[in-house]
Amino acid sequence: MLVDRGLRHKYANSVLGYAWSLLEPALFISTYFLLLKIFHKTYPMYPLFIASTILPWQWFATVVNSSTGTLRANSRLITSIALPREIYPLADVTVKTVEFALSLPLIVVIAWIYGVRPSGYVFAWPLALAFELMICVGLALLISSLNTVLRDVERGIGLVIRALFYLSPVLYPLQRLAGSLRGVAAYNPMVGILELNRAIWFPAYWTGWRPVYFSAIGAVVILLLGFSVFARVERAVLKEL
Domain range for 96: 2-6+15-240
Residue 208: its pLDDT value, please? 86
In 3D space, the residue among 184, 222, 183, 176 whose CA is nearest the CA of residue 202 turns out to be: 176
With cut-offs at 50, 70 and 90, classify the pLDDT of residue 151: confident
pLDDT tens for each residue of 41-64: 566 788 888 889 999 999 999 999
The pLDDT-based confidence of 234 (bands split at 50, 70, 90) is: confident
- Let me know if 7 is exposed, middle or buried by CB neighbors in 10 A (0-12, 13-18, 19+): middle
Taking residues 163-185, report their average pLDDT: 78
Does the structure show a pLDDT above 60 at 16? no
b/e sequence 162-201, b meaning 16+ C-beta within 10 Å: eebeeebbbbbbbeebeeeebeebbebbbbbbbbbbbbbb
- Number of structural domains the chain divides into: 1
DSSP classification of residue 207: -
